[in-house]
């Protein structure tokens, strides 16, 4: 039975059988002789047969993005009273677009590697324990000393509409090109890579230049979504909501026709398949050759919309891995969004029902 450290090494070798001991040491933050000792033990146990021979290769997706602790309030009254206290519910739960996408993928039965940074604090420990429980591979993630895990505070109306959000995600500045460089071989051994716009713009540019497998991007917030639009864009797909899409495309969305124009403009800018989701309508898919509109079903009991985009991004990845048609993809992606809206959690435990 491998130790926790040996399991981390085994996971990394499985993702990239030709990874060097030096690369393993850099990723795990241990010495090269320490890695050699663990490798020797794994060979003796018959878990590997030496460098370059770990079979079978597992299908997996790498997610590069943020983890944070969400603190959210839901106002229970129909009318919001500004500059005053409003009665409601306040909850605390793990979030972060990158983390939510990874958790959704695991729910869908996809092996998932999450590359992120988190603090050496209580919330960081909660994240680590949750990742282990969910079987999210965080061997490539890093816990940073003297840093605070990201926090996100937001207030919603009872119908799920966001009033305001405030994030403290300064720790994500450590997701640098240099940080990812030693992890690149494992990233490029993935079947797909998903990034979110919480990571620095220079890092996104580096990813565009160095990642060789298809990349799906999830836009996050009007302030950070523009990080995705660089001179060297290299995307397979972009998942983006109506507010972010309207900002980047400079196309107001008041009608379904406006939304179609926005999706077309985004496609022209990013040269990628666009998955544009809008609260009052549903999903638009635009790839130039193929276009599909899929509305949400009526009478959804919305509890929280915070995890909807992450669920949709995960299902975009699932659809691509399973080679689903645009119609099948649209149906699945919208159902995943609906299931997530109907729970107060950022990750629905019912997603697995969609693929069983």
DSSP sequence for 208-251: HHH--S-EEEE--HHHHGGGG--TT---SEEEEEHHHHHHHHT-
Residues written for the chain:
356
pLDDT of residue 51 exceeding 70 = no
211 contacts 187 by C-beta, under 8 angstroms: yes
Q: Bigger pLDDT: 91 or 99?
A: 99
Amino acid 92: pLDDT: 87
pLDDT at site 18: 75
* DSSP symbol at 111: E
Task: Of 77, 71, 69, 113, give the one whose Cα is nearest residue 94.
Answer: 69
Read off the pLDDT band of 46 (50, 70, 90): low
Q: Where are the domains of the chain?
A: 1-57, 58-354
CATH of domain 1-57: 1.10.10.10
Tell me the per-residue pLDDT of 2-19, one tens digit each, with 9 for 90 and over: 788 888 888 788 777 778
Q: What is the pLDDT of residue 45?
A: 67
Whether 112 contacts 64, CB under 8 Å: no
Give kind and range of the element (H or E) at residue 134. helix 122-134
Residue of 142, 187, 182, 145 whose CA lies nearest to 26 = 182
Whether the pLDDT of residue 56 is over 50: the answer is no
pLDDT digits (tens, 9 = 90+) for 255-312: 999 999 999 999 999 999 999 999 888 999 999 888 999 999 887 887 777 889 999 9
Strands 282-286 and 273-277: antiparallel
- pLDDT of 160 > 80? The answer is no
Residues in contact with 279: Cβ distance below 8 Å, sequence separation at least 6, in sequence order? 161, 241, 242, 305
The whole-number pLDDT of residue 302 equals 74
CATH class name, domain 58-354: alpha beta
- The more confident residue out of 202 and 280 is 202
Rg (CA), the chain: 21
Q: Which residues contact 234 (CB under 8 A, 6 or more apart)?
A: 207, 208, 209, 211, 215
**Comparison of pLDDT for 49 and 131, the residue scoring more:** 131
Rounded distance between C-alpha atoms, residue 287 and residue 322, angstroms:
18
In degrees rounded to 5, what are phi and psi of residue 351?
-60, -35
Distance between CA atoms of 284 and 264, rounded to whole angstroms? Answer: 10
């Amino acid at each position: 039975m491998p130790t926790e450290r040996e399991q981390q090494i085994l996971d990394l070798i499985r993702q990239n059988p030709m990874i060097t001991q030096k690369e393993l040491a850099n990723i795990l933050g241990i010495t090269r002789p320490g890695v050699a000792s663990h490798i020797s033990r794994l060979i003796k146990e018959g878990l590997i047969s030496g460098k370059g021979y770990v079979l079978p290769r597992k299908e997996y997706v790498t997610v590069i993005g943020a983890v944070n602790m969400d603190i959210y309030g839901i106002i229970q009254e129909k009318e919001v009273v500004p500059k005053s206290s409003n009665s409601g519910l306040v909850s605390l739960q793990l979030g972060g677009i990158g983390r939510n996408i990874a958790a959704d993928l695991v729910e869908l039965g996809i092996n998932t590697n999450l590359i992120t940074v988190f603090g050496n604090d209580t919330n960081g420990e909660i994240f680590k324990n949750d990742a282990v429980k969910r079987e999210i591979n965080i061997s490539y993630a890093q816990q940073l000393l003297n840093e605070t895990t990201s926090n996100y505070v937001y207030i919603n109306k009872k119908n799920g509409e966001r009033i305001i959000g405030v994030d403290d995600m300064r720790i994500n500045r450590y997701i640098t090109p240099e940080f990812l460089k030693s992890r690149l071989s494992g990233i490029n051994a993935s079947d797909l890579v998903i990034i979110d716009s919480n990571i620095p713009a220079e890092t996104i540019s580096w990813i565009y230049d160095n990642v060789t497998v298809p990349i799906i991007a999830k836009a996050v917030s009007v302030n950070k979504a523009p990080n995705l639009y660089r001179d060297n864009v290299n995307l397979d797909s972009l998942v983006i909501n109506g507010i972010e899409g309207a900002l980047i495309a400079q196309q107001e969305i008041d009608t379904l026709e406006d939304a179609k124009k926005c999706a077309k403009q985004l496609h022209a800018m990013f040269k990628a398949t666009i998955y544009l989701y809008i609260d009052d309508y549903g999903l638009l898919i635009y790839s130039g050759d193929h276009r599909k509109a899929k509305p949400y079903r009526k009478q959804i009991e919305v509890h929280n919309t915070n995890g909807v985009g992450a669920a949709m991004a995960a299902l975009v990845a699932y659809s691509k891995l399973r080679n689903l048609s645009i119609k099948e993809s649209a149906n699945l992606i919208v159902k995943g969004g609906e299931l997530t809206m109907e729970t107060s959690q950022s990750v629905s435990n019912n997603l697995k029902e969609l693929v069983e």
